[in-house]
């Protein structure tokens, strides 16, 4: 059984007990435990079920590489699936449940898959479930989906907070082991701005477990002293619980800081995403121990050798009472020695090498541990827990020599440097055959903005496995990174490490070497996704020879650990199957993040109200307080209608239209874009921007103008006012202000940069109100201060003045066909002006109206709306707007495009009015159908509706649409489709439905 | 995540402060030009895998355009320069030649 | 004008770092040739400061000037004096190609004040805010969350921020949330 | 070819799976083929498949620089739908969608086509109008779609927040027979079928030059030597410009990075595909249980298969807002692909200025869903010289100003 040892672990505080629950059981651990160590201390070896076969799964590692120990953590709004128990620090009240089983962890019906596993080799699902066809959707797929997945789906909204932080550094060091510490120290000494991050809660990495001597001190003391030194350096920032998650182009690094996961009672953000710009990055990310591939290596109790040591030393937890160590290298002997010294049984060390010599081997032997060279494990015995191992010759096919009873197997297949961050941005790897590992190729680093390498790798991550090399390499990497970032190294002594003498490892990719199919089909490569040696071999046999094919066909390395344990073993298996060298098979691509990071931290503070900015006008509060039903228009929110109690939105719209037509309506038009264009060449410039002539507009007058893209399509419209000799004010649509401003700057900066024109976007300087309706003049006269009579301020003119004490610019323009003034006042006075209008207008029936009433009234008058009549494929000619296209101008933006053959095609659909025969409203988006079908069997069409409304003024449906030869077909009845298959008939009419002679506006 | 030096305001700008504005040094063809010329001006892009010239706008910064010489295969930046020019300055061309001998792009080399 | 109200009417979010809407500020977008002697002189007359160098701003109370781009300054004057200041510019720049527009009401002015003000800004802006890199006198146009903004420092613990009026509330809430979340411990 | 079936699996299970053959052969190139397709992605392989299946043209080589299916076929978010606005788009995508329905049976390879339904959310008034227009167009195009209410959206996707304060859901365009498929399997299934017809799929073979004579294609030079052909199909997605340049013509396209990401797998919680264009995010749940999320394209030309992280941020925050329950899921992996985008963001399936060379490119962000239709149409174009499905997608349309613009219905071409 696994249990807590008498000697306290390095990291746990035995004086502080912590209670938690697992699958409803109340358990106790200590402060400093991880959830994994606490579960092991409670003899909870089995922690989950595998993805495919639902086999029992126990902890196999002690860190971020753990593939098995995944739990549902927390509940309600802190519920989180797939939480890795080896990186979850224990806290009081922690609640965890195991995953992927039904009805329980101990008795999972899904385990039936394991008995049928011979029918479920790699890719079996590509070969079956094909017939009968409907079964995939209705039976097979739902079944597979239920069986797959891991944790439960969260249900509640996350109430924690998250944030981002932007920071720039000269040198970013990832990894707080001795190499990273040395690198940060040497880079810091040079004066560079340095950040050092470590993903765990503890500095020192493996060194503080295995405790070599550095500079004559224990590793523990050296680490403590170095951390202290770094903390004292003002130019160095160090962070625990912060993972270097991804390296991106031009030195961008994401670091993922977990602030309160270990202490949920603390205030502040739960996670922080550091968005770092680093000139140089040092990856001192260490290495991950590889499992060995033997039959039954997935049974709970088979654990990586170094992890067994971690649990014993860091947490005072023994994984088992009797541990068989199986290895191909010397390092695993440390585990045997540690356990033996802790008073536990080591029945044998099974060493696949034919012979080896070294200090650790000697020490193990001296402790009386039996060492068997040239041997391997034929098979692990046990179901939910290891009960023993069968030993065989490594060179053979698995004939059992001896069985040894044990409850833990500590395995080591060598070490794989963590090269993820090096590789994220294109750093290349080389195969180190001696150490059987891929390590960064220093000649081919990822290249930065200047074309030079911007990542250096250090220590174990660089393929150095011995303390002396590791620490020297870290020190040198910090120096060279600082130098590359522009800092001179200070003379300082590199730390010196000491090592035990170790012999070379012998690569072992399968145990025993000649294992039978039966054994290979029980030798796991990917523990979570259930990929075995036989699966990769099958992929190769079937032609899935590329490493990417094999990965995708078998799903090896695609689990939540992203193959941290399985990739190299899988690769070696594939290479062997193809009779190829490992480096020739290549690796799969490493992609960020290193380990999964929360979606919430990616979103950061941008949640709820802060999800996206909402742009508000000075009158927004009034709208909200008065029933505004909003519609988003870009980032603005405009009242669609002001709904009163007892009204539907539709009722409100109709009321607003009728009231405006009969009395007085007020529209908050502040969102309309207002661009000032000024300069000696402003007229010439606007003649290029607009299809019509603007240079000849008289001062004091307004003119409606159209803008097209260079591709000829209508992009915006609005009223232009000539302010003075060299100044024009251009109104744009609500969505157009920033876009058209940018469009103007583009041409001024990049094409006609010698033209003397300045543009300023003054949209938000002004609150603008449209005062519309028969009583419009009356209310303005009541406010007083300006002559707004027909004679002094005729249609399409503007004037500056004072209205009711407000500085105002009044435009006599109309988008509704009514007598109408648009009045601009400084935004700071907008709300007061709005209130003044409402008060003064009360006796005249003043009533605000929203965008829908605006739309209906303009449609009744046959005015086009950008975004309704236009959709990016419509040219002004389609809308019969030839009158607004200057014939005199040689050039304007879009002119050349409109000369292309398809643009000049007489068969382009043209704008007309449409009146339903039965008075109903044509559905939005309906098409006018024509006879027959096209070559692809689609029904022919001859037009479409662009705007369609119920007109409360005319009390019937009205519409505008683009129709083939429409203007030549007045009076003709055509049919529009409905989605239910029926049609509605409409007569082609003039597009002006209301007050054709303009009598209402010209008063 | 690119960073580009804005030659207009001196800021070493994060990509999120910038907006990519497409190929640089396009020659505008207006009314009266041939269909081919107009087509090429509007749609025919160099799209090289390698040295490229492009427009950027420092949209969240000084609001000005600038041009960049960049490698689309490695994202290396050879230099940024004023948008008010019809061809890359010699210093930029030299910087590219030093890194990518024999390069060419449109009419430039 | 007594009717004038700033975007958030002086709203305050108090804490270790306090966010305050700064009330009405007179601001003028002034475009022209920044080396023009008349431009330089009117800038000095109005604000008491000369044309700043690229990326710099100087201010004192309600008056100040910031370098916006190679052909644009932001002139700060008391709100009530804005139109007079523009008139002065127009007079001084007569015959010179220029543009001077009142943008006082198109902006929201916020102050961020407190021990970790620098970090509050750094949570939201993709700029290097290290004290070695951004100091009093520097002026930066960048983004704050998802909106454009500009800021400068008036003392070691105070940032002045301006953004567009329509997003003033968003910017205020964003800064307030960042301040409430506490310090990072970077600077 | 040995047929795949449950019986075959049972048979093999009892002989340790030793009887499984290679899914596709590994031939050396011949001296000459009737047709060479460059690019063994989904589109290239589907083209070859339909050349053989529909026209009996089997003396075909499919040449691939890397490994088959290794480009955008293996990097996309696997969404299949045909609810497009414009007739020509709807025609080819619906052809594709209908071929997906029977692809597993046609290829005897389970591509796991899952017609689980696709909803495109309307969150603004203009999206409502755009999607209602699409619904009306679809009704005439023979594409089965429907406009659904917010309540129906919620029933179909209970995890969605339909009344978020910023962009409440106002309805959706629903295509019940849209869905997803297993992307790799599509490429593998086609490869197996092509190989079975005697076609040569030649991987790890890069085209280094295109040989022409008197304006007509005669062959290609490759890293495995020269190979002659009568007709050449260029189907290389992101690298189309580079290949066209070798043949002496240019294409009106640009190559940019498109990104995607997946969460860790969870138990089933979302049965349909949801696309939210206003906030720029789309999401579905794979059969493995991962939430598969698509992001946006970068604005700058790029051949690195790496994009900029801020697009991931934008996409994720939009989806956290739309689906609050994903807040505590974790991003497992992000990646990028290179997509080629045309001036109207619709593809090019076309003859070229060089006789005998045909090009299929410009699918932008929407290529996967089109694979079988594209292959069908491209095969027709190459075999017969014309196809009603490709007619409007010719590369010369930009000269005339005859665009196929899908963005008009607020529908981006995902």
B3-56 pLDDT, tens digit each: 999 999 999 999 999 999 999 999 999 999 999 999 999 999 999 999 999 999
Residue D318, class by beta-carbon neighbours within 10 Å (0-12 exposed, 13-18 middle, 19+ buried)?
Answer: buried
Same domain, C74 and C166: no
**Number of compact structural domains in chain C:** 2
Specify if C91 maps to a domain.
yes
Same domain, A470 and A401: no
Task: Identify the band that residue A522 occupies on the pLDDT scale cut at 50, 70 and 90.
Answer: very high
pLDDT tens by residue, A814-849: 999 999 999 999 999 999 999 999 999 999 999 999
pLDDT tens by residue, C26-42: 999 999 999 999 999 99
- Across the interface, whether the CB atoms of A936 and D388 are under 8 A apart is answered yes
In this structure, what are the phi and psi dihedrals at residue C7, rounded to the nearest 5 degrees? Answer: -50, -50
Give pLDDT, residue A37.
98
- Residue among C68, C177, C61, C164 at smallest CA distance from C109: C164
Specify if A932 maps to a domain.
yes
- C32: DSSP letter: S
Does the pLDDT at position A695 exceed 70?
A: yes
Same domain, C166 and C123: yes
Task: Identify the band that residue C169 occupies on the pLDDT scale cut at 50, 70 and 90.
Answer: very high
CB contact C31 to A (< 8 Å): yes
Give pLDDT, residue C187.
83
Task: Identify the band that residue D176 occupies on the pLDDT scale cut at 50, 70 and 90.
Answer: very high
Residue of B nearest to C56 (CA): B9
- CB atoms inside a 10 Å sphere around CB D103: 23
pLDDT tens by residue, A182-237: 999 999 999 999 999 999 999 999 999 999 999 999 999 999 999 999 999 999 99
Residue among C53, C74, C127, C171 with most chain B CBs within 10 A, to mutate: C127
- The domain that holds A388 is classified in CATH as 3.50.50.60
The C-alpha of D338 sits at a distance from chain B's nearest C-alpha, in angstroms, of 11
A293, two tokens: 């591939």
- The domain that holds C150 is classified in CATH as 3.30.1360.120
Average pLDDT over residues C136-144: 98
Same domain, A930 and A968: yes
For D:25-84, CB contacts with A below 8 A are 25-26, 66-70, 74
Does the pLDDT at position D411 exceed 60?
A: no
- Across the interface, whether the CB atoms of D253 and B39 are under 8 A apart is answered no
- Tell me the residue range of the domain where C130 lies: 12-23+106-179
Last residue of a domain, which of A413, A447, A475?
A: A413
**Number of compact structural domains in chain A:** 7
pLDDT tens by residue, A52-69: 999 999 999 999 999 999
Q: Is the dihedral of CA A4, A8, A14, A17 positive or negative?
A: negative
Specify if A615 maps to a domain.
no
Same domain, C85 and C100: yes
Average pLDDT over residues A93-101: 95
Give pLDDT, residue D407.
83
- The domain that holds A750 is classified in CATH as 3.30.70.1400
Same domain, C99 and C35: yes
CB contact C102 to A (< 8 Å): yes
Specify if A56 maps to a domain.
yes
Specify if C5 maps to a domain.
no
Percent of chain D surpassing pLDDT 90: 93
- Contacts of residue C126 in chain B, CB cutoff 8 Å? 14, 16-17
Beta strand D200-202 with D207-213: parallel, antiparallel or unpaired? unpaired
Same domain, A850 and A706: no
Average pLDDT over residues A862-869: 95
User: In whole numbers, what is the pLDDT of chain C averaged over residues?
Assistant: 96
D388, two tokens: 């009603």
How many CA atoms lie less than 13 Å away from A241 in the CB half-sphere?
14
Task: Identify the band that residue A704 occupies on the pLDDT scale cut at 50, 70 and 90.
Answer: very high
Give pLDDT, residue C2.
61
- Contacts of residue D400 in chain A, CB cutoff 8 Å? 900-902
Same domain, C77 and C114: no
Specify if A623 maps to a domain.
no
Interhelix angle A332-341/A359-366, nearest 10 degrees: 30
- The domain that holds A568 is classified in CATH as 1.10.10
For D:261-300, CB contacts with A below 8 A are 263-269, 278-279, 285, 287-289
Tokens 């997509």 belong to residue: D339
- Across the interface, whether the CB atoms of A827 and C105 are under 8 A apart is answered yes
Same domain, C36 and C82: yes
More confident residue, A348 or D366: A348
Same domain, C122 and C160: yes
A695, two tokens: 């240079």
Question: Which helix (H) or strand (E) is A949 found in, with range?
Answer: strand A939-951
Cβ-Cβ pairs closer than 8 A, A with C, add up to 142
- The answer to whether D156 and D117 are in contact (CB under 8 A) is yes
Give pLDDT, residue D413.
32
ipTM of the complex: 0.97
Specify if C3 maps to a domain.
no
Residue-range domain boundaries for chain B: 3-107
Same domain, A759 and A770: no
CB contact A81 to D (< 8 Å): yes
Give pLDDT, residue A110.
86
The D273-276 sheet, strands edge to edge: A597-598, D330-342, D253-263, D291-301, D281-285, D273-276, D118-122, D171-175, D146-148
Residue among B3, B5, B11 with most chain C CBs within 10 A, to mutate: B11
Same domain, C121 and C175: yes
Same domain, C93 and C31: yes
CB contact C24 to A (< 8 Å): yes
Same domain, C52 and C91: yes
Give pLDDT, residue D412.
35
**SS3 of A19, please?**
strand
Residue among B55, B64, B75, B99 with most chain A CBs within 10 A, to mutate: B75
Average pLDDT over residues D293-319: 94
Specify if C186 maps to a domain.
no
pLDDT tens by residue, A263-302: 999 999 999 999 999 999 999 999 999 999 999 999 999 9
Same domain, A647 and A769: yes
Phi-psi region of A463 (alpha: psi -120 to 50; beta: other; left: phi over 0): left
For B:26-45, CB contacts with A below 8 A are 28-33, 35, 38, 42
- Contacts of residue C71 in chain A, CB cutoff 8 Å? 758
Rounded CA gap, A925 and A515, in Å?
Answer: 67
Last residue of a domain, which of C60, C81, C105?
A: C105
pLDDT tens by residue, D46-99: 999 999 999 999 999 999 999 999 999 999 999 999 999 999 999 999 999 999
- Across the interface, whether the CB atoms of A745 and B63 are under 8 A apart is answered yes
Specify if C76 maps to a domain.
yes
> Residue C61: which residues within 8 A CB-CB, separation 6 or more?
none
The C-alpha of B76 sits at a distance from chain C's nearest C-alpha, in angstroms, of 21
Same domain, A193 and A278: yes
Rounded CA gap, D191 and D107, in Å?
Answer: 10
Give pLDDT, residue D202.
98
- CB atoms inside a 10 Å sphere around CB A107: 9
The pTM (predicted TM-score) of the whole model is 0.97
Residue among A248, A252, A451 with most chain B CBs within 10 A, to mutate: A451
- Contacts of residue C143 in chain B, CB cutoff 8 Å? 16-17, 60
Does the pLDDT at position D154 exceed 70?
A: yes
- Contacts of residue A673 in chain C, CB cutoff 8 Å? none
- Tell me the residue range of the domain where A14 lies: 3-110
Same domain, C67 and C88: yes
Kindly report the CATH number that applies to the domain delimited by B3-107: 3.30.2270.10
Same domain, A748 and A804: no
Q: What angle do CA C37, C38, C42 make, to 5 degrees?
A: 120
Range list of H helices, A232-330: 305-315
Same domain, A787 and A643: yes
Same domain, C61 and C117: no
Task: Identify the band that residue A1 occupies on the pLDDT scale cut at 50, 70 and 90.
Answer: confident
Rounded CA gap, D90 and D142, in Å?
Answer: 9
- Contacts of residue A679 in chain C, CB cutoff 8 Å? 97, 99
- Across the interface, whether the CB atoms of D327 and A600 are under 8 A apart is answered yes
Percent of chain A surpassing pLDDT 70: 100
Give pLDDT, residue A499.
93
Specify if C47 maps to a domain.
yes
Same domain, A773 and A751: no
Give pLDDT, residue D123.
94
- The domain that holds C67 is classified in CATH as 3.30.70.1520
Specify if A758 maps to a domain.
yes
Does the pLDDT at position A420 exceed 80?
A: yes
Specify if C129 maps to a domain.
yes
């Amino acid at each position: 059984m696994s249990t807590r040892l008498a000697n306290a672990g390095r990291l746990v505080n035995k004086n502080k007990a912590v209670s938690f629950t697992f699958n409803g059981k109340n358990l106790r651990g200590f402060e400093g435990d991880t959830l994994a160590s606490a579960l092991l201390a409670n003899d909870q070896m089995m922690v989950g079920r595998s993805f495919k076969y639902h086999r029992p799964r126990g902890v196999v590692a002690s860190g971020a590489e753990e593939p098995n120990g995944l739990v549902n953590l927390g509940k309600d709004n802190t519920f989180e699936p797939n939480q890795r128990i080896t990186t979850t620090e224990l806290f009081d009240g922690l609640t965890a449940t195991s995953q992927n089983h039904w009805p329980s962890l101990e008795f999972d019906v899904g385990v039936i898959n394991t008995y049928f596993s011979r029918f479920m080799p790699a890719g079996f699902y590509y070969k079956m479930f094909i017939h009968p066809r409907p079964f995939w959707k209705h039976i097979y797929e739902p079944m597979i989906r239920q069986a797959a997945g891991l944790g439960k789906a969260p249900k509640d909204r996350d109430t924690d907070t998250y944030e981002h932080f932007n920071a720039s550094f000269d040198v970013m060091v990832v990894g707080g082991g001795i190499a990273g510490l040395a690198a940060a120290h040497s880079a810091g000494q040079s004066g560079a701005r340095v950040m050092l991050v470590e993903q765990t809660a503890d500095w020192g990495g493996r060194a503080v477990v295995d405790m070599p001597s550095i500079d004559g001190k224990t590793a523990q003391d050296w680490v403590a002293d170095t951390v202290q030194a770094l903390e004292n350096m003002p130019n160095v920032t160090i962070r625990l619980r912060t993972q270097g998650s991804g390296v991106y182009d031009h030195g961008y690094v994401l670091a993922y800081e977990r602030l309160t996961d270990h202490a949920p009672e603390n205030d502040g953000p739960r996670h922080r995403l550091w968005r770092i710009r680093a000139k140089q990055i040092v990856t001192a990310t260490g290495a991950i121990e590889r499992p060995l591939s033997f039959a039954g290596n997935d049974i709970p109790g088979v654990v990586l050798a170094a992890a067994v040591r971690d649990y014993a030393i860091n947490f005072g937890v023994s994984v088992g009472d009797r541990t068989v160590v199986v290895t191909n290298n010397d390092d695993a002997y440390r585990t045997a020695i540690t356990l033996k010294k802790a008073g536990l049984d080591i029945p044998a060390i099974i060493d696949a090498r034919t012979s080896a010599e070294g200090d650790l081997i000697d020490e193990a032997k001296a402790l009386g541990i039996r060492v068997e060279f040239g041997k391997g494990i034929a098979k692990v015995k046990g179901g939910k827990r290891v009960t023993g191992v069968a030993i065989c010759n490594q060179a053979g096919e698995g004939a059992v020599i001896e069985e040894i009873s044990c409850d833990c197997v500590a395995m080591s297949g060598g070490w794989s440097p963590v090269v993820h961050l090096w590789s994220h941005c294109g750093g290349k790897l080389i195969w180190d055959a001696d150490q059987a590992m891929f390590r960064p190729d220093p000649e081919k680093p990822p290249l930065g903005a200047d074309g030079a390498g911007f990542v250096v790798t250090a220590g174990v991550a660089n393929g150095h496995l011995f303390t002396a090399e590791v620490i020297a390499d870290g020190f040198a990497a910090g120096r060279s990174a600082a130098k590359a970032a522009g800092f001179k190294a200070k003379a300082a002594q590199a730390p010196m490490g000491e090592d035990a003498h170790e012999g070379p490892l012998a690569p072992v990719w399968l145990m025993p070497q000649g294992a039978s199919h039966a054994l290979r089909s029980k030798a796991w490569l990917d523990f979570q996704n259930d990929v075995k040696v036989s699966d990769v071999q099958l992929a190769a046999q079937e032609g899935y020879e590329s490493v990417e094919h094999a990965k995708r066909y078998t799903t090896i390395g695609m689990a939540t650990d992203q193959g941290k344990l399985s990739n190299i073993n899988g690769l070696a298996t594939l290479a062997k199957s193809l009779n190829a060298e490992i480096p020739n098979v290549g690796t799969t691509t490493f992609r960020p993040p290193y380990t999964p990071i929360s979606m919430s931290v990616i979103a950061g503070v941008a949640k709820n109200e802060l999800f996206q900015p909402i742009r508000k006008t000075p009158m927004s509060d009034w709208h909200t307080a008065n029933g505004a039903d909003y519609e988003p228009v870009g980032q603005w929110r405009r009242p669609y209608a002001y709904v009163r109690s007892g009204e539907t939105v539709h009722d409100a719209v109709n009321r607003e239209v009728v009231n405006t037509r009969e009395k007085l309506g007020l529209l908050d038009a502040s969102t309309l874009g207002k661009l000032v264009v000024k300069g000696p060449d402003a007229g010439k410039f606007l003649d290029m921007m607009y299809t019509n002539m603007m240079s000849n507009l008289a001062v004091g007058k307004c003119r409606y103008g159209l803008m097209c893209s260079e591709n000829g399509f209508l992009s915006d419209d609005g009223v232009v006012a000539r302010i003075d000799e060299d100044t024009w004010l251009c109104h744009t649509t609500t969505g157009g202000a920033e876009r058209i401003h940018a469009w103007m700057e583009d041409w001024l900066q990049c094409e006609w940069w010698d033209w003397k024109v300045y543009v300023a976007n003054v949209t938000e300087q002004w609150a603008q109100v449209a005062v519309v309706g028969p009583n419009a003049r009356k209310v303005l006269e009541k406010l007083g201060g300006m002559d707004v009579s027909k004679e002094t301020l005729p249609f399409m003119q503007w004037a500056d003045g004072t209205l009711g004490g407000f500085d105002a610019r009044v435009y006599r323009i109309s988008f509704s066909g009514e007598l109408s003034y648009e009045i601009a006042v400084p935004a700071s006075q907008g709300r007061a002006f709005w209130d003044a209008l409402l008060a003064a207008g009360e006796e005249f029936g003043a009533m605000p109206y929203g965008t829908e009433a605006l739309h209906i009234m303009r449609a009744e008058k046959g005015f086009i709306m950008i975004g309704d009549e236009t959709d990016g494929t419509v040219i002004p000619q389609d809308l019969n707007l030839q009158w607004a296209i200057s014939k005199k101008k040689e050039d304007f933006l879009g002119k050349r495009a409109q000369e292309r053959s398809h643009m000049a095609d007489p068969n382009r659909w043209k704008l007309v009015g449409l009146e339903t025969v039965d008075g109903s409203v044509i559905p939005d988006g309906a098409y006018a159908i024509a006879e027959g079908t096209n070559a692809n069997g689609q029904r022919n069409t001859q037009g479409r509706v662009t705007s369609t409304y119920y007109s409360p003024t005319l009390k019937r449906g009205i519409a505008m649409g683009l129709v083939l030869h429409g203007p030549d077909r007045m009076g003709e009845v055509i049919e529009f489709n409905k989605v239910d298959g029926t049609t509605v008939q409409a007569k082609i009419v003039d597009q002006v439905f209301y007050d054709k002679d303009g009598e209402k506006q010209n008063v | 995540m690119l960073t580009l030096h804005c030659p207009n305001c001196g800021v070493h700008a994060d990509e999120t402060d910038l907006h990519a504005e497409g190929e640089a040094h396009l020659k505008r063809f207006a009314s009266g030009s041939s269909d081919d010329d107009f087509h090429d001006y509007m749609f025919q892009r160099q799209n090289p895998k390698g040295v490229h010239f492009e427009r950027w706008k420092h949209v969240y910064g000084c609001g000005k355009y600038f041009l960049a010489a960049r490698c689309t295969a490695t994202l290396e930046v050879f230099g940024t320069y004023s948008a008010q020019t019809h061809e890359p300055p010699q210093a930029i061309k030299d910087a590219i030649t030093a890194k990518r001998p024999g390069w060419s792009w449109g009419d430039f080399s | 004008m007594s009717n004038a109200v700033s975007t958030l009417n002086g709203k305050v979010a108090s804490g270790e770092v306090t966010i305050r809407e700064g009330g009405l500020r007179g601001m003028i977008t002034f475009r022209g040739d920044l080396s023009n002697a008349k431009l330089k002189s009117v800038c000095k007359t109005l604000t008491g400061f000369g044309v700043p160098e690229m990326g710099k701003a100087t201010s004192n109370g309600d008056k100040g000037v910031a370098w916006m781009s190679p052909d644009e300054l932001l002139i700060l004057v008391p709100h009530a004096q804005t139109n007079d200041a523009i008139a002065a510019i127009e007079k001084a720049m007569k015959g010179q190609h220029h543009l001077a527009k009142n943008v006082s009401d198109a902006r929201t002015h916020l102050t961020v004040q407190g021990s970790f003000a620098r970090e509050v800004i750094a949570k939201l802006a993709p700029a290097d805010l290290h004290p070695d890199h951004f100091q009093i006198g520097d002026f930066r146009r960048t983004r704050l969350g998802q909106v454009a903004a500009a800021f400068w420092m008036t003392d070691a613990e105070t940032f002045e921020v301006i953004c567009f009026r329509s997003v003033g509330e968003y910017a205020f809430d964003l800064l307030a949330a960042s301040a409430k979340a506490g310090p990072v411990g970077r600077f | 070819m040995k047929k795949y079936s449950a019986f075959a699996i049972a048979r093999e299970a009892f002989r340790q799976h030793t009887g499984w053959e290679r899914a596709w052969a590994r031939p050396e190139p011949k001296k000459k083929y009737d047709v060479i397709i460059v690019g063994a992605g989904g589109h290239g392989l589907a083209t070859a498949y339909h050349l053989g299946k529909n026209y009996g043209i089997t003396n075909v080589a499919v040449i691939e620089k890397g490994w088959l299916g290794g480009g955008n076929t293996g990097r996309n978010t696997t969404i299949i739908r045909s609810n497009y606005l414009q007739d020509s788009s709807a025609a080819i995508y619906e052809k594709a969608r209908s071929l997906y329905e029977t692809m597993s049976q046609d290829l005897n390879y389970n591509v796991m086509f899952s017609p689980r339904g696709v909803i495109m959310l309307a969150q603004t008034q203009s999206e409502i109008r755009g999607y209602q227009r699409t619904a009306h167009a679809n009704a005439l195009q023979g594409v089965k779609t429907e406009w659904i209410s917010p309540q129906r959206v919620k029933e179909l996707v209970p995890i969605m927040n339909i009344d978020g304060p910023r962009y409440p859901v106002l309805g959706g365009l629903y295509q019940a027979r849209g869905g997803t498929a297993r992307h790799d399997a599509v490429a593998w299934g086609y490869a197996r079928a092509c190989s079975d017809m005697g076609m040569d799929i030649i991987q790890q073979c890069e085209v280094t030059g295109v040989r022409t004579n008197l304006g007509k294609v005669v062959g290609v030079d490759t890293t495995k030597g020269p190979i002659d052909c009568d007709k050449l199909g260029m189907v290389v997605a992101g690298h189309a410009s580079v290949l066209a340049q070798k043949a002496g013509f240019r294409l009106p396209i640009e190559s940019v990075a498109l990104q995607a990401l997946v969460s860790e797998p969870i138990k089933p919680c979302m049965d349909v595909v949801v696309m939210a264009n206003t906030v720029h995010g789309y999401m579905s749940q794979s059969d493995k249980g991962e939430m598969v999320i698509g992001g946006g394209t970068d604005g700058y030309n790029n051949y690195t298969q790496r994009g900029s992280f801020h697009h991931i941020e934008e996409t994720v925050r939009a989806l956290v807002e739309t689906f609050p329950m994903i807040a505590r899921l974790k991003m497992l992996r992000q990646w990028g692909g290179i997509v080629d985008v045309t001036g109207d963001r619709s593809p090019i399936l076309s003859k070229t200025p060089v006789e005998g060379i045909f090009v299929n490119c410009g699918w932008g962000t929407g290529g996967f869903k089109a694979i079988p239709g594209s292959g069908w149409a491209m095969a027709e174009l190459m075999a017969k010289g014309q196809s009603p499905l490709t007619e409007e997608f010719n590369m010369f349309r930009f000269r005339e100003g005859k665009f196929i613009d899908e963005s008009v219905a607020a529908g981006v071409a995902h």
